Amino acid sequence: MVSSQTLPQFTSPHSFRAFRSDPPQWLPIALDIARSRGIDVASPHVFSTGTNLVVGFSDKLILKIFPPLLRAQFVSERGSLTQLKGRLPLPIPEIVAEGERDGWPYLVITRLTGTLGSEVWPQLPEAQKERVLRQIGETIAAVQRAPLGPLARIEPRWSEFMRAQMQGCKARHTRLGLAPKFLAGLDDLLRDAAMLIPMDAPPVILIGEYIPENFLLACSDDQCSLAGLFDFGDVRAGWRDYDLLGPSAFMAAGRPGRVRSLLEGFGYAKLEFALKRRLMALMLLHQASDLNSHICIEGWQDQANDLLELQELIWAE
């Protein structure tokens, strides 16, 4: 227990995660912060998933507290919510208050209504999955039409980020246990990537994780629609196709109708070879890339013999 109402300092993500997973250590401080902002703390709800300290109050507000070692996520979240306010066709949280406690920045944001996508997605009929993926494609495009504003200053810049990812790509996927038949094609793919992925094109806002855990759905009369988008802690600026990877890996599952819906919603009328090749490269270069954990196609390791066959499997026509 924390006897004095003080947030500790952490030097490693591991020690912070241990602290976050033990709410009695930090919830009293979160409640103290909430009270100081005039929030009714009668029935707090601790969110156990996620990266930061997150507490909900009634169905109206959420308090997110960021450790100093994740200050970049605070900057990203605050900048994104400010920049995207009023610019999207669906709700996102609004900032009610912000501040700092013991060097830990925090945000008080509005709580969205709807059902978490991950709770609904597996049970949705195929036609509804295609409908939602089209809306996700449209939402990605809408986010990317918004001006970058201060998000343009987020480091690292796209070209530096991509070059660093390319440098560490083979070592990363070897460590994560990617099958040798796929590792064998990495050098060729990275060579193509250097030409296929624009490094100096005008950057757009990239959320990085359009996945069911980060959006809300509203379902009525057998129709499901996107009802909200949240979690902007990993935003960066860069090439637009990067944000197609989350829904491609976690949701489209190599189903042609789903793939087509996502890409058409985004604005791609045709699924050309160069686009598939670029998406395959970006999937391997993504900040959170781990193909063994992230490709939601049952038995995909046995269905493809190399990366070329894998890209045809993931982005099937």
pLDDT tens digit string along 277-314?
999 999 999 999 999 999 999 999 999 999 999 999 99
Residues 6 or more apart whose CB falls under 8 angstroms from that of 10 comprise 16, 19, 67, 68, 69
Pair 6, 29: CB distance under 8 Å? yes
pLDDT of 209: 85
The widest CA-to-CA distance across the chain, in whole angstroms, is 61
pLDDT of 3: 38
Pair 7, 101: CB distance under 8 Å? yes
Tokens of 224: 């499901």
pLDDT of 230: 92
Strands (E), the chain: 44-46, 53-57, 61-65, 95-101, 104-110, 115-116, 204-206, 215-220, 223-229, 236-238
pLDDT of 4: 54
β-strands 61-65, 44-46 pairing = unpaired
Query: For residues 260 and 268, what is the distance between their CA atoms, to the nearest angstrom?
Result: 9
pTM over 0.85: yes
Q: Which of 111, 65, 76 minimizes the C-alpha distance to 91?
A: 111
- pLDDT < 70 positions in the chain: 1-4
Amino acid at 11: T
